[in-house]
Amino acid sequence: MAITVSIGGVDKSDQIEWESLSVEQVKTSQIDTCSFKLKKHAGKTYSPAIGDSVLVQDGATSIFGGIVVKINNSIEAGLLTRLAVQCVSYEKQLDRYLAVREFTSVSARYILNALLDEFVNQPSKEIDLGESTETWTTEDGTVAANTTAGQFIEGSQSRKFTATASNTATARRETTLDLTLFSDATASTTSDKIKFYVYVDTLANLASIRLLCVSDAGATYTNYYETTVVAASLVAGWNEIIVLKSAFTSSGSPNWNDIKKRQYRVTASASGTVNVSIDDCRLIKSTAFTMGSVKDADAPTIGSVKFNYESVSSAIKQVAEMVGCDWYIDPVRVLHFFAPLTEPAPFGLTDTSANFAWDSLDVSQDSATVKNQIYVRGGEYQGASTDFDTDADGVSLNYRSPYRIKNLTVTVAAVSKTVGVDNLADPASYDCLYNFMEKTLKFKTATKPTAGQLIKMTGNPMIPVIIKKGDASSIATHGIYEFLILDKTILTQQGARDRASAELTAYRDTLIEGSFTTDTTGLRAGQTISIAIAARGISDTYIVQSVYFRTKSPTGFIYDIKIVSTRSFGVIEYLLGLLRDSKKQITMNDDEVIDEVQDIDETATVADVWTQGSMNAQTETITFGEAEQDDLNHGTVFVLTPYVFSGFADTKRPFILDGSLLS
């Protein structure tokens, strides 16, 4: 078959030195790796970049998907540039995000979805979550809230559609959404996806599920995008449905930037009534991680698990261990979560099969990893209020409680005493002090109980989680192999039982290891493979532990396969386990608040604007008036001099006798 290497979504196979291409694939939390070399010269100038996506395929089979993490640039013969490229699988991307969340009494599927939605697949945009805060309008059949445990995958409920035989159940939710933008206002293209979950109770009674994204308001359906999912593509129980925006068909003239409502329609087959619960519909990026191959994740209910700033890959690993499952991320970012021995290899090995090198098969057996009686010591849980009595001896000032006690009250001879916090409170202000960590009640000399007085401590004891669980069949076969698990994040007895059960499932039998070589494609870590070689006395089913791909020609691989009978810890996984255990020693307070500091780049544009006008405008008012005095045509009165005028109104004039024209 042809070997294809795509970088950034573009086939670059002709740029790769085929003899340098190799892929190593390992189980669960360990990271798959890929390496290759390419040359740059006058005719070939392409260079990959750090962070580019890489997909390696053997024919139609995808054998590696991941990102470029290292490029080594060297010179050969003084002229030729050679690039050595190293890549890691998509599990490594999950290590970029830290999970901080506590879950109680939910399924593994619920936790996995929350880890991806809240911490990994960002940005996204919520469309319809089925919660009580949303308003839905039923158009046909019966549609109601569903709070049944296990039938919602986000929040506290889903939306349940009940359709009778050959009929439909239809409902719409009206909110205007711009689906060309994610929640952080970054652009969404038609290569992005719409994801939602459906829970089907009776698959034989289902015909189809339809989703419309409508640009019309109210009950009008003229302009919309549509997708229909037929029952044949689903399974009973949970299904993750993912549709490219470009894969929706359109009617009329809808617009992704103006979706006024969504209509969901469930159509029953003629066989009978079907109940379908729809939950957690949202817009996700084309590069988002999805849960299309999550199996065996609905039972048992996980009692309690808390993640204290742990990588998402570590959190998924812990969930897998709690329910006895394996997991991996495939080359197209799909999470596979499954019980061991439930993902079969595409072929097995027999005496007559020609799909492996006969002399390459090697199998050995080792009992060093057997664990068949497990002790789990978890954290502490708060018990019901209890009385703890002790008799005073008249000498001691200090009395110990059997547990650390919260909400403590104290009486001595039925008389209530004031209690302070040791090392914090002033002893003079209290009858006694209590040291929670030392479990010690401390009196002072002045308040020391006398001999025979009853000291009663009342409060909520912090009871340690301790359980013991064994596997009778394994003990009968191999004898007792005990093992202790210390995990302070386990806060319930049921959580401890779940953890012990998962450990027993993985390690109750002896470890059988082996290896072989094949040139047949299709094997990957985590699959189960049947080996029945009568001539060698081998007949068993094994788990593929690792697969190493190396090229034997430009068109084919050789596959070196390692197998085990059950899961074993390698050095890398062991060290990761130690790191994870150290993190579990941190106690998260219920009232912790994160102080988030986020760098934000902003661009400010400044322009000058001039406005002409007075900067100190003042207003004055001047009032003008006229006073007129007309002295013409007034009668004149001549008087003897000397005479002084009194004003314009004075009509008197002096008469000069000497020199006057009248003289």
pLDDT tens, residue by residue, 512-532:
788 999 988 888 887 889 999
Distances in Å between the Cα of 439 and the Cα atoms of 403, 407, 639 are 6, 13, 131
Which residues on adjacent β-strands are paired with residue 6? 11, 55
Q: What confidence score (pLDDT) does residue 597 get?
A: 40
Q: What confidence score (pLDDT) does residue 593 get?
A: 40
- 23, with CB counted inside 10 A (0-12, 13-18, 19+), is buried
Q: What confidence score (pLDDT) does residue 474 get?
A: 86
Amino acid in position 549: F
What whole-number distance in Å separates Cα of residue 661 and Cα of residue 663? Answer: 6
What whole-number distance in Å separates Cα of residue 293 and Cα of residue 283? Answer: 19
Other Cβ atoms closer than 10 A to 301: 16
Q: What percent of the chain has pLDDT over 90?
A: 55
Burial 394-421 (b: 16+ CB within 10 A, else e): eeeeebebebbbeebebbbeeeebebbe
Ramachandran sector of residue 367 (left: φ over 0; alpha: ψ -120 to 50; beta: rest): alpha
Write out the two tokens for 42.
Answer: 């006058």
Amino acid in position 473: S
Residue with tokens 């009940």: 162
H-run or E-run covering 112? helix 108-115
Distances in Å between the Cα of 569 and the Cα atoms of 335, 432, 465, 486, 602 are 21, 51, 26, 17, 48
Residue-wise pLDDT tens digits, 587-618: 444 444 444 444 445 667 777 766 665 555 56
Q: Dihedral angle at the C-alpha atoms of 134, 135, 137, 143, nearest 10 degrees?
A: 50
What distance lies between CA 216 and its chain's CA centroid?
33
Q: What are the mean pLDDT values of the chain's consecutive 10-residue runs (663 residues total)? A: 88 90 80 90 85 91 92 76 91 91 94 96 96 96 96 96 98 97 96 97 98 96 98 96 97 97 98 98 96 89 90 92 87 89 88 88 78 89 92 94 94 96 94 95 95 95 90 87 87 86 78 86 86 88 87 83 63 39 46 43 67 60 64 65 69 66 50
Q: What confidence score (pLDDT) does residue 635 get?
A: 67
Q: What confidence score (pLDDT) does residue 135 get?
A: 96
Q: Dihedral angle at the C-alpha atoms of 105, 309, 583, 154, nearest 10 degrees?
A: 10
Map residue 233 onto helix, strand or coil: helix
What whole-number distance in Å separates Cα of residue 376 and Cα of residue 165? Answer: 50
Please answer whether residues 173 and 217 qualify as being in contact, where contact means their C-beta atoms are separated by less than 8 angstroms: no
Distances in Å between the Cα of 271 and the Cα atoms of 122, 229, 267, 388 are 41, 18, 11, 63
Q: What confidence score (pLDDT) does residue 81 get?
A: 78
First to last CA, the chain: 155
Q: Dihedral angle at the C-alpha atoms of 413, 415, 421, 425, nearest 10 degrees?
A: -120
Residue with tokens 């027999």: 350
Please answer whether residues 34 and 87 qualify as being in contact, where contact means their C-beta atoms are separated by less than 8 angstroms: yes
Please answer whether residues 549 and 561 qualify as being in contact, where contact means their C-beta atoms are separated by less than 8 angstroms: no
Q: What is the DSSP string of 270-311?
A: TT--EEEEEEEEEEE-TT--EEEEE-S-SSSPEEEEEEEEEE
Residue with tokens 């098969």: 361
Please answer whether residues 391 and 383 qualify as being in contact, where contact means their C-beta atoms are separated by less than 8 angstroms: no
Write out the two tokens for 213.
Answer: 């994204």
Q: What confidence score (pLDDT) does residue 586 get?
A: 43
SS3 percent helix, strand, coil of the chain, rounded to 5, is: 15, 45, 40
What whole-number distance in Å separates Cα of residue 144 and Cα of residue 608? Answer: 60
Alpha helix locations (H) across 282-414? 312-323
Write out the two tokens for 48.
Answer: 């990959």
What whole-number distance in Å separates Cα of residue 277 and Cα of residue 228? Answer: 16
Please answer whether residues 559 and 521 qualify as being in contact, where contact means their C-beta atoms are separated by less than 8 angstroms: yes
What whole-number distance in Å separates Cα of residue 539 and Cα of residue 90? Answer: 35
What whole-number distance in Å separates Cα of residue 438 and Cα of residue 440? Answer: 5
Other Cβ atoms closer than 10 A to 20: 15
